[in-house]
Chains A and B, each alone.
Chain A
């Protein structure tokens, strides 16, 4: 499927606006300056990207969310396991360094952050672009980065050999935290949404 340059520009704006909304929600949740910035929006070849990611053997914790509505979409927020300790301390208002191992609280914090980020991204797409989009309950996973990414794109790959990927970068409390947020909309339904809002070229 071809996406014209004009459409890519609109997609980039939509992504930026929804990521901004999620960023504000994250700051409020963690009561600290949190900034998520969009680092890249692109169309990727499914097999090439999966092959590249398969070589990533970093151990990560992540949360995956499916959306229901007129855009089918998947969301993955993942970060190295020790990064989740920092988020747990911030979320629970504990002194930094309190969380030293992955436990039920860490898992629950990652689950809730996934829920808040996914919900606020969908809120922006609904209010600004007339989409209908509601997240399903989040699922937390612990695995290699490559495996998690493969799980994210597997279903989408059955209907399309190209992926629309939105990648982001996180800065928390002035420290860059290595987090990854991928939003993978199913292309056909996303193009239909662009048609509906009048971006036809």
Chain B
């Protein structure tokens, strides 16, 4: 079971994402409320992926992303933000984000993003052909 670290400064968003992940067979490794906490939790929990908000107090999600990738080049970090602007997207991708999901998002969008980074979409396709 893949373990996910959920990072957002809004408790209700963490709750919504955690509920969604659990319903789809993912394990929630932990949660964090800003980029610094995210980095600390990442080192401690070593999750398979991170969902990371961008606008957060103290240390934002872009800094959190940079810190995590400096520690683990293979880390998979999905940025989740209500900011739907080219500059924000390119900054995230330039700094190594695996994907970018705009809030508010449909449940399917989040799950297909996770399946995609874990290669589960291809596996589903092969399974359905067999």
A interface list, Cβ under 8 A from B: 25, 28-29, 91-92, 104-105, 108-109, 111-112, 115-116, 119-120, 122-123, 126-127, 132, 134-137
Using CB atoms and an 8 Å cutoff, list the residues of chain B in contact with chain A. Answer: 9-13, 15-16, 55-57, 81-85, 87-88, 103-104
CA of A122 to CA of B82, assembled, Å: 10
Residue pairs across A and B with CB atoms within 8 Å: the count is 57
A residues in contact with B81, CB < 8 Å: 119
Measured in the bound complex, the distance between the Cα atoms of B11 and A123 in whole Å is 24
Contact between A25 and B82, CB atoms less than 8 A apart: yes
A105 touches B55 (CB 8 A): no
- Pick the contact of A29: B9, B56, B85, B104 (CB < 8 A): B104
Q: Chain A's interface: helix, strand, loop or mixed, by majority?
A: helix
* Contact A108 to B12, CB < 8 A, known contacts A25-B82, A116-B82, A123-B84: yes
Are B87 and A112 closer than 8 Å at their CB atoms? no
**A136 contacts which chain B residues (CB < 8 A)?**
55
Docked-complex contact A134 and B85, CB < 8 angstroms: yes
Bound-complex Cα distance A137 to B54 (A): 9
- Most chain B Cβ neighbours within 10 Å, of A104, A108, A115, A135: A115
Q: Which residues of B contact A119 (CB under 8 A)?
A: 55, 81-84, 103
